[in-house]
Amino acid sequence: MNNAPVYYIHTLGCQMNAHDSERIAGVLEKDGYRKASQEQVKDNDVDLIVLNTCAVRENATTRMYGTLGRFAQLKRAKPHIQIAVGGCMAQKDRARITEQAPWVDAVFGTKNIGSLPELLHKASRTHHSQVEVATQLTQFPSELSTVRASKASAWVSISVGCNNTCTFCIVPAVRGKERDRRPGDILAEIEDCVSRGIKEVTLLGQNVNSYGYSTGDRYAFGKLLRACGQIEGLERVRFTSPHPAAFTDDVIAAMAQTPNVMPQLHMPLQSGSDRILRAMRRSYRTEKFMSILHKVREAIPHAQITTDIIVGFPGETEEDFQQTIDIVRQACFTSAFIFEYSPRPGTPAATMEQIDPRVSHERLERLLTIQEEISRNIMSSFVGREVEVLVTELRGHKDKQTQRISGRDRGGNLVHIGIPEGYEQPAIGDIITCTVTESSAHYLIADPDIRRGDTYELQH
């Protein structure tokens, strides 16, 4: 019988947080914990719950405090359960968390993941909340033990922190100044991933393409992409998120010339109005942004490009918003993450004159409708074409009815695949080349009919 304490990590926010949760899992398992099963999570049959938080938008903050409230009820029913809060909100609001949620056992910052087990042990001994939130990075999180969430794909951090001063963003305050990892350490981690059966890595950074700028090497990121192309067994390389101001032609060339770098680009626009970009303190203008997209599509015609957009930023007029609509129509993004602006205390934009929330919401709905139509048209163009899909989930869309599996094609599109009768069941990490038979705005479906001439080929 295994008496090891059982943990569950609830993650809010971005890919960086998802990757941090892998590190949290790593340090816990090294300390003797084991991951909860889905059944144990459902029944709250756990010894530790870790809430890894986000501070970028107000709804994430609201969700965090709402979740902590539910955890209080759980702790009253099961006093032995420990609660820990980490991530960006812990870094920013440590005093508020311990004041409003005194039942929390441990609060740890973005730079203190490795301290979590000791904080929990001390909380057990003292019966008091333990807090450790460092302001300076002393150890890259990548040096900690890791439990990868996927058997096929891995996040690999190449830098931490951010040197930009966007007026809406709290990230520099909670993640600190940008620090780059050594190229050799990054490549060694990727090689280790591949040796464990990982076929795809995503390079992570707050501004991934400014990698190397701290040492004066503006071409370091392109070199890193090309070096990834030399790693045997590494099928796919992606990266997120680049900053338009630091996007150089050599990166486009590296993407086009390195076969395992995927034809996918997530490039945050934020606004289509140059006036609003200045107010946001984004160090590029729409002409620069569109020129990058043009160059990428010229070098990689089949590239899938996605973006982030904020509507309702302080001072945004209807004219500004119309300019955003114009850029969205011109850019033809495969998809866009569109958000209503929400003020973050401690940022310059929070002190600016705010837009009526009803106006912001109406603009959000309008832009979503336009982007949905663009996405639907782009995705419909895949019907009848072959795509190469890396299997990441064995339970896909409407699995009970269809028994489909799921994965991503080379451009990053989500694809749900039906296995033709009589064919071998794929495993996570397999690659399937198949014919797309249906589409929606957000995913593709491949139910290939071999008798009709559709393609279905499985590669282990």
- For 153-179, the pLDDT digits (tens) are 999 999 988 888 899 988 787 778 888
Q: Which range marks the domain in which residue 170 is found?
A: 150-262
Given a cut of 60, is residue 117 above it in pLDDT?
yes
What's the Cα-to-Cα distance from 183 to each of 96, 163, 180, 228, rounded to whole Å?
39, 20, 9, 10
Residues of the chain with pLDDT > 70: what percent? 96
Residue 394 CB coordination number (10 Å)? 15
**Domain CATH for 238:** 3.30.750.210
Which of 87-96, 105-114, 156-165, 427-436: highest mean pLDDT? 427-436
Given a cut of 70, is residue 138 above it in pLDDT?
no
Q: What is the pTM of this model?
A: 0.86
Asked which of 330, 359, 380 is the last residue of a domain, the reply is 380
Given a cut of 50, is residue 209 above it in pLDDT?
yes
Pure H helices in 381-454: 399-402
User: What is d(CA 312, CA 372) in angstroms, rounded to the nearest whole number?
Assistant: 19
Q: Is there a single domain that holds both residue 21 and residue 118?
A: yes
Is 228 marked as a binding-site residue?
no
pLDDT band at 455 (very low <50, low <70, confident <90, very high): very high
Q: Please give the tally of structural domains in the chain.
A: 4
Is 193 marked as a binding-site residue?
no
User: What is d(CA 342, CA 344) in angstroms, rounded to the nearest whole number?
Assistant: 6
User: What is d(CA 301, CA 304) in angstroms, rounded to the nearest whole number?
Assistant: 9
Q: Is there a single domain that holds both residue 289 and residue 208?
A: no
Nearest to 164 by CA among 219, 285, 245: 245
What is the four-CA torsion angle of 358, 360, 365, 370, rounded to 10 degrees? 150
**Domain CATH for 448:** 2.40.50
pLDDT band at 2 (very low <50, low <70, confident <90, very high): low
Cβ contact 335:442 at 8 Å: yes
> Residue 407: enclosing H or E segment and its boundaries?
strand 405-408
User: What is d(CA 446, CA 438) in angstroms, rounded to the nearest whole number?
Assistant: 7
Cβ contact 90:205 at 8 Å: no
Query: Which of the 8 DSSP states describes residue 282?
Result: -
The answer as to whether 235 is a domain residue is yes
User: What is d(CA 145, CA 20) in angstroms, rounded to the nearest whole number?
Assistant: 11
Q: What is the mean pLDDT of residues 221-235?
A: 97
Given a cut of 70, is residue 298 above it in pLDDT?
yes
Q: Is there a single domain that holds both residue 291 and residue 251?
A: no
Q: Is there a single domain that holds both residue 360 and residue 398?
A: no
The DSSP-derived string for 188-204 is: HHHHHHHHTT--EEEEE
Is 54 marked as a binding-site residue?
yes
Cβ contact 390:433 at 8 Å: no
The answer as to whether 272 is a domain residue is no
86-100, 267-281, 415-429: least confident range: 86-100
Q: What is the mean pLDDT of residues 81-95?
A: 88
Cβ contact 438:425 at 8 Å: no
pLDDT band at 402 (very low <50, low <70, confident <90, very high): low
User: What is d(CA 126, CA 405) in angstroms, rounded to the nearest whole number?
Assistant: 48
Q: Is there a single domain that holds both residue 371 and residue 391?
A: no
Asked which of 227, 262, 297 is the last residue of a domain, the reply is 262
Which residues are bridge partners to 180 per DSSP?
A: 159
Given a cut of 80, is residue 139 above it in pLDDT?
no
Asked which of 362, 380, 398 is the last residue of a domain, the reply is 380
**Helix %, strand %, coil % for the chain, to 5?**
40, 20, 40
pLDDT in tens, 248-262: 999 999 999 999 999
Is 332 marked as a binding-site residue?
no
Q: What pLDDT, on a 0 to 100 scale, did the predictor assign at position 223?
A: 97
| Angle separating helix axes 183-195 and 220-228, nearest 10 degrees | 20
